[in-house]
Amino acid sequence: MSETKVEPLAPKDIVKADDPSTWELTWQQGVTPWDAGDSQPSLKEAVESSGLDMPRSGRALVPGCGSGYDIQYLSLALGLHTLGLDIADTAIKRANELIEKAKSTHPNLDARVINQDFFAFNPPEGQRFDLIYDHTFFCAIPPSMRKDWGSQMSNLVKPGGYLITIVYPMLPYVETGPPYYIRPEHFEEILSSDFVKVLDKIPEVSSASHEGKERILVWRRRQ
């Protein structure tokens, strides 16, 4: 008699759309398929070889930053003071520990992670961001919150600043999540009034988990 195959837990089995605090449970239980141990090649392509004039001073933000690989990368690659936001204490602790460890070999690393709800984040006017990066944050929020996501991005990016979005995972339609069903047009619908799309391409190189499932969209905040 064959054994019944037990499917591993997925984020959608744990996270409740009306209770963001349940993201902490995914970290406690090790159900973090988005954690690849490094920044994605698609982000590095957007920063290093897209031909765009990325900021080389100022501030960057990564909402839903998890272990913080991306805030380390953006700080070191562009020389930006980089802030990560998350609401899972386990992720925040891990990210800040990794930052402190990295500073032993990269003393110029200027990055930190705080416990902060992205949608309630309201820094002073003079502390808006030159660059924001979204990868696996947009897909993690219920579709009903996407307009609020767009409004908050408009509030947080400086005029002339950049928003790098990785459209991932581009999977067949499902009603439930996270991750929720996303396509490039879902970003365009909510960003086009305040942002100009300056890059739209399939990455030259993707990690194994992202191959055929992602697209790079880069936006510049209208002046």
86, 91, 92, 96: CA torsion to nearest 10: -130
- Asked whether 216 and 168 are in contact (CB, 8 A), the reply is no
Give the tens place of pLDDT for each residue, 115-142.
999 999 999 888 999 999 999 999 999 9
Backbone angles phi, psi at 28, to 5 degrees: -65, -35
Q: Is residue 99, in this structure, part of any structural domain at all?
A: yes
pLDDT score at 9: 87
**Distant-in-sequence, close-in-space partners of 93: CB < 8 Å, separation ≥ 6:** none
Of the chain, the percentage scoring pLDDT greater than 70 comes to: 97
Tell me the CATH number at 66.
3.40.50.150
Number of domains in the chain: 1
pLDDT score at 7: 66
Task: Give which of 34, 27, 32, 16 is closest to 213, Cα–Cα.
Answer: 34
Q: Is residue 41, in this structure, part of any structural domain at all?
A: yes
- Asked whether 83 and 116 are in contact (CB, 8 A), the reply is no
Q: Is residue 172, in this structure, part of any structural domain at all?
A: no
pLDDT score at 71: 98
pLDDT at residue 4 above 80?
A: no
> pLDDT-based confidence at 18, cuts 50/70/90?
confident
Query: Omega into 33 within 30° of 0, i.e. cis?
Result: no
Amino acid at 105: T
pLDDT at residue 1 above 50?
A: no
The mean pLDDT of 111-115, rounded to a whole number, is 98
Q: Is residue 2, in this structure, part of any structural domain at all?
A: no
Q: How far lies 151's CA from each of 4, 97, 119, 130, 154, in Å?
A: 47, 32, 9, 16, 5
Q: Is residue 5, in this structure, part of any structural domain at all?
A: no
The mean pLDDT of 108-117, rounded to a whole number, is 98
Q: Is residue 30, in this structure, part of any structural domain at all?
A: no
Q: Is residue 77, in this structure, part of any structural domain at all?
A: yes
Q: Is residue 207, in this structure, part of any structural domain at all?
A: yes
**Residue range of the domain that includes 84:** 35-164+186-221
Report the mean per-residue pLDDT for the chain: 95
pLDDT at residue 73 above 60?
A: yes
Tokens for 211? 């191959």
The mean pLDDT of 85-101, rounded to a whole number, is 98
Give the tens place of pLDDT for each residue, 128-184.
999 999 999 999 999 999 999 999 999 999 999 999 999 999 999 999 999 999 999
Burial code (b: 16+ CB inside 10 Å, e: under 16) for 41-69 equals ebbbbbbeebeeebbeebbbbbbbbbbbb
